[in-house]
Amino acid sequence: MAAFLLLAGVVVVGYMIFHNIFVKGAVCKSNVKLHGKTVIVTGSNTGIGKMTALDLARRGARVILACRNRQRAEAALADIKRESGSNEVVFMHLDLGSLKSVRFFAETFLKNEPRLDLLINNAGIYMQGSTEDGLGMMFGVNYIGHFLLTNLLLDRLKECGPSRVVNVASLGHNFGKIDFNCLSTHKELGVGKSAMDVFNIYCNSKLCNVVFTHELAKRLKDTNVTCYSLHPGIIETELGRYANSVFLMLLKPISMLFFKNSVAGSQTTLHCALQEGLEPLSGCYFSNCTVRNLYPKARDDAVAKKLWEVSESLCGLL
C-alpha cells in the first residue's frame, strides 16, 4: 500500500509539473492600461475570444465584440460588463461568412467609432460547407472574412497608430498547404469530406492566416501598424464545437488533462496585442508568448504575394 501511495504521489506531482509547464503555459506579463483605446475582437462571445475581450475591458479599453450569433454575443456582453466593471463594451454584428456583412460592419464601425487601436482576428470555425459567397466555409470564415475586414479598417488603424493587428492561427498551419488550382476551381482550400480531409482544409486555412500576416507586415513597413500571428495552444473547445457527440465524449477526459482552458489560451493573443517592444517582430509567429521560427512555406514571399492578389479578387477589393 505504501508503495502504491508513493507511486500515486509521484504521478500527481509529475502531472502538476507537466500541466504548469506544457499545458497551462506562459502568461502575458504586460501591465499596460488601455483607457482611451478601442479594440475589436472577432468571435468574442465564447472561448479564448471572450477571455481576450474580458482582459482588454479590465484594462480600460473600449471593446467591440464582433460576433455572428446575437443571442450568445449579448450573453457574453453582459458577462464581460459584469466581470470587468466596464460599460465600454459593445456588441456589433459580424458574419465572417458573408462579405456583405463584413463590409456593413466596417462601414458602420468607421461611421460611429473614431478610433481603432487593436484588431484581433480571433474567430474561427471547424466545419465543412460553403459561405453565402460560394467560398469554402473554413476558407471564407477563418481567412477571407478577416482579410477583407483588416483591409477595410487599415486606414483607421494607421490614423490611430501605433496600432496592431493580431491574427489567431494554429499550430496546424504546419500541416497545411495552399493549392491555388483548387482555389481557382472550387474557391476552396481542398476537397473531400472525410475526417482527414476536413482536418487538412482547416490546417490550410490556418496557413493562410500565417502567410497573410507575413505579407501584411511587408505592406505595412514604414507605417505605425504592426501585425502578428499566433498559436493559442490546444484549447478545450477549439475543434469540438461542431464535432460528433460520441467523439466529444471520448475526447473529454483527454481535454480535461492535456488541453488549455480559455484563460490560458488567450495569453499569447494578449502578449501579441499588448507586450511592449514587439514592433521589430512585425509579421512574426508566436506560440506560448514566444516568437517561433516558421517553415519556409509559411514565409514564402511569392506565395504570400499571390495569396494576397487572389484574396483581393475573391472579396472584390481589386
- The set of residues, in sequence order, having a beta carbon less than 8 Å from that of 190 and lying 6+ positions away, is 136, 179, 182, 197, 200, 201, 204
CATH of 27-315, one of 3.40.50.720, 3.20.20.80, 3.30.559.10, 1.10.260.40: 3.40.50.720
| Residue pair 230/269 in contact by the 8 Å Cβ criterion | yes
CA distance 38 to 61: 6
What's the whole-number mean pLDDT along residues 21-31? 80
Res. 182: pLDDT tops 60: yes
CA distance 59 to 33: 5
Res. 255: pLDDT tops 60: no
Average pLDDT, the chain: 90
Q: Active-site residues: which are they?
A: 202
Q: What residues are paired with 227 via a beta bridge?
A: 165
- Lowest mean pLDDT across 3-12, 30-39, 90-99, 265-274: 3-12
pLDDT for 268: 98
At residue 21 the predicted structure's pLDDT band, cuts being 50, 70 and 90, is: very low
- The set of residues, in sequence order, having a beta carbon less than 8 Å from that of 80 and lying 6+ positions away, is 50, 53, 54, 57, 63, 65, 86, 89
Res. 39: pLDDT tops 50: yes
Res. 251: pLDDT tops 80: no
Which has the closest alpha carbon to 145: 317, 274, 273?
317
Q: Give the pLDDT confidence of 108-118 residue by residue, as tens digits.
A: 999 999 999 99
Q: Of all residues in the chain, what percent carry a pLDDT higher than 90? A: 83
Identify which has the larger pLDDT, 4 or 85.
Answer: 85
CA distance 290 to 271: 9
At residue 318 the predicted structure's pLDDT band, cuts being 50, 70 and 90, is: confident
At residue 249 the predicted structure's pLDDT band, cuts being 50, 70 and 90, is: low
- Residue in the structure block whose three cell numbers are 476537397: 191
The angle at the Cα of 143, spanning 175 to 91, to the nearest 5 degrees, equals: 130
- Residue in the structure block whose three cell numbers are 483607457: 35
What's the whole-number mean pLDDT along residues 93-105? 98
pLDDT for 17: 45
What are the residue ranges spanned by the domains of the chain?
A: 27-315
Res. 7: pLDDT tops 80: no
pLDDT for 1: 60
- Lowest mean pLDDT across 5-9, 17-21, 196-200: 17-21
- Residue in the structure block whose three cell numbers are 487572389: 310
